[in-house]
Structure 1
Amino acid sequence: MELVSPSIEFESEFSVFYLDFAENDVENSGYYRDGISNFAQYVQRLQDEAQGLNLPDGYVPCNHFWLVDGNRNVLGAIRVRHNIDNDFLALEAGHIGYDIAPSYRGKGYGKSMLKFALPKAKMLGITQALVTADEDNIVSRKVIEANGGQFEKVVMGKVFPEPLARYWVACE
């Protein structure tokens, strides 16, 4: 298992990843829909975000990675934002956000994916990463805690008005 940067060589595997969301987690499938309509353009957009190019308002530079296994299956996606210099990121989204494909949940992949992403965050100059989870998402909270996450507090989101558990994780 490893984290890879988005690449057009994973088009068919990404399609399977998206379809898993579309069939089993419709609420979160929209985050990946653009990868189906024009994959090359989608990958370029993610690569541009890592370079801080063509960012929409409110966005910060962000590296995207996909967790792939030895058979090239895309098991998950993780985002490492270079900073949290706006109100939404500083309160709700944090430095790192991630998703595991529905068919691969409950198998420890989230824990591994976050572990692999922490050194990448450190390379970006982040020493302590803010990682959040819905307060009632016990599985995600356990992923963060398994990676050394120190619980700070629960806050009420403003963009997504739900209680969020905030954690700080050392990037090592």
Structure 2
Amino acid sequence: MATALTIPSPALYDTWAECVAEFDGVGPDGSGSWKVDGFGPDRASFEALLEIADAEADVSRSLPEGHVHCDTFWITDPADTVIGFMALRHSLATDFLRTEGGHIGYSVRPSRRRQGHASRALGLVLDRARERQLDRVLVTCDESNTASARTIESQGGVFENHVGIKRRYWITL
């Protein structure tokens, strides 16, 4: 089954809203939902996320304190169904990113988990990281998320340590 990284697009609103709704009110990691006050699977949140994604991808723009330039992707299948979210942060310029957040964040909708989408999408975003001339990337997951740990390890992640509830992995590119 093919997995793609797709630039967020207004044309994908309906499938985006279905994907977000599957997370049952918990903002999915990698989606950027924490950046939108009152986030929900609604048109206003969608439009705010599109604006944020555009701003963060534009390296010529100044960003608010605590934000870094970031390439935001939606993980899609061949039918252009949004099945998850992926973020590639260009740097670890905040304490949070250096310790817990990492360069890459991702999430797959519950109904599409355990189908290999996260591993394939992580592999694709590692290619983007190489294009950005990153030498290595930090990827983290919760200690309790063994599926995510296996995903990171499948893409060359080498465990470094724990910080709080986070497992920290480095992937050399």
TM-score between the two structures when normalised by the length of structure 1: 0.87
Name 1:101's counterpart in structure 2. Answer: 109
AA at the equivalent of 2:16: F
More helix by share: 1
- Rounded to whole Å, the distance in 2 between the matches of 1:34 and 1:49 is 20
Q: 1:37 aligns with which of 20, 35, 43?
A: 43
Q: Which has the higher contact order (CA 8 A, sep 6+)?
A: 2
Q: Is 1:60 matched up with 2:68?
A: yes
Q: Is 1:146 matched up with 2:154?
A: yes
Residues 88, 7 of structure 1: CA spacing in aligned structure 2 closer, same or farther, 3 A cutoff? Answer: same
- Rounded to whole Å, the distance in 2 between the matches of 1:80 and 1:151 is 19
- Rounded to whole Å, the distance in 1 between the matches of 2:166 and 2:6 is 28
Name 1:3's counterpart in structure 2. Answer: 5
CA deviation profile, 1:102-147 (whole Å, cap 9, x unmatched) = 1111111111110110011111121200000111210000000000
Superposed, 1:42-53 pairs within 5 Å as 42-52=49-59, 53=61
TM-score between the two structures when normalised by the length of structure 2: 0.86
Identity of aligned residues (%): 32
Indicate if the aligned counterparts of 1:34 and 1:42 stay in contact, CA closer than 8 A.
no
AA at the equivalent of 1:37: R
Superposed, 1:120-139 pairs within 5 Å as 120-139=128-147
Name 1:19's counterpart in structure 2. Answer: 21
Residues 120, 44 of structure 1: CA spacing in aligned structure 2 closer, same or farther, 3 A cutoff? Answer: same
Shift in Å at residue 11 of structure 1? 1.1
CA deviation profile, 1:31-81 (whole Å, cap 9, x unmatched) = 543662323342122111111436332010011001111111101100000
